[in-house]
């Protein structure tokens, strides 16, 4: 019995402490200022040279989105808008994955709606030289996902800084004519929760099975 315990503990330890998981899924949600949403983000290794350390590439997104300002309720999220990095790269602190959507009414003169589809499990770094905010599971450019009605939604982190406001998020909704029809600069709370890893679940299952076997043996 003791040898079985040692063997299973060794397997569980190897599974948990093995190479860092390079892909995964996290549940996300956000709510505030009339907009809300929830779903799953799938991510993997970021192979783009020049993106911030600690970043992962968001590869897919699913869930629902609501915007009471536009009368949208539980609209299905049908996927991620792929990045289309500007060429040449902007340089400086900007991620090489920095992309932009041309819109008819940009929130900043001369600009579009920027995004990079990067996930930061440890919190986003400073990535914009003319804005001090950092932190959050997205950076200040965020991600863009597609809705079943043809709209696009840009969700980003406003970050924070010493002496600055609390961390919050913003949302821009873009319609089929590339017009921003709702722009919420901040006041949105958002969070991610990792999905249980298969290795951890397996190790827990092994230990549970061993505990059951031990109890059964004692009962006999």
pLDDT of amino acid 109:
63
Q: What does pTM read for this prediction?
A: 0.80
**Is 118 within a domain?**
yes
**Is 204 within a domain?**
no
- The count of C-alpha atoms lying within 13 angstroms of the C-alpha of 4, restricted to the half-sphere facing its C-beta, is 11
- Span 108-141, pLDDT tens digits: 766 679 999 999 999 999 999 999 999 999 999 9
163 three-class SS: coil
**Is 112 within a domain?**
yes
Q: How far apart are CA 70 and CA 80, in angstroms?
A: 21
Contact between 99 and 50 under an 8 Å Cβ cutoff? The reply is no
pLDDT of amino acid 58:
99
Structural domain count, the chain: 1
**Is 209 within a domain?**
no
**Is 29 within a domain?**
yes
Alpha helices, DSSP H, located in the chain = 2-17, 198-219
Contact between 190 and 29 under an 8 Å Cβ cutoff? The reply is yes
Provide CB contacts within 8 A for 161, sequence distance 6+: 132, 133, 134
**Is 207 within a domain?**
no
User: Is the pLDDT at 182 greater than 90, yes or no?
Assistant: yes
Q: Which residue has the tokens 């990095």?
A: 85
**Is 7 within a domain?**
no
pLDDT of amino acid 112:
79
pLDDT of amino acid 211:
42
Domain that includes residue 40, residue range: 22-196
- Span 55-79, pLDDT tens digits: 999 999 999 999 999 999 999 999 9
pLDDT of amino acid 180:
96
**Is 149 within a domain?**
yes
Degrees (nearest 5) of the Cα angle 72, 115, 30?
Answer: 40
Q: How far apart are CA 46 and CA 178, in angstroms?
A: 28
**161: confidence class by pLDDT, cuts 50, 70, 90:** very high
């Amino acid at each position: 019995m003791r040898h079985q315990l040692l063997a299973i503990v060794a397997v569980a330890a190897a599974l948990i402490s093995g190479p860092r998981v390079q892909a995964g899924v996290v549940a996300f949600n956000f709510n505030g200022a009339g907009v809300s949403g929830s779903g799953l983000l799938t991510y993997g290794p970021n192979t783009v040279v020049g993106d911030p350390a600690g970043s992962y590439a968001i590869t897919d997104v699913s869930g629902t989105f609501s915007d009471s300002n536009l009368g949208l309720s539980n609209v299905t999220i049908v996927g991620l808008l792929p990045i289309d990095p500007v060429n040449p790269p902007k340089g400086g602190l900007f991620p090489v994955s920095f992309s932009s959507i041309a819109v008819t009414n940009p929130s900043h003169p001369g600009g579009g709606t920027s995004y990079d589809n990067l996930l930061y499990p440890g919190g986003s770094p400073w990535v914009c030289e003319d804005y001090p905010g950092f932190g959050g599971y997205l950076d200040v450019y965020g991600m863009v996902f597609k809705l079943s009605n043809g709209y696009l939604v840009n969700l980003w982190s406003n970050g924070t800084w010493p002496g600055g406001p609390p961390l919050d998020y913003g949302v821009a909704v873009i319609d089929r004519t590339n017009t921003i029809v709702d722009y919420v600069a901040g006041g949105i709370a958002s969070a991610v929760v990792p999905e249980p890893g298969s290795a951890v679940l397996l190790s827990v299952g092994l230990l549970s099975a061993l505990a059951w076997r031990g109890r059964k043996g004692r009962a006999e």
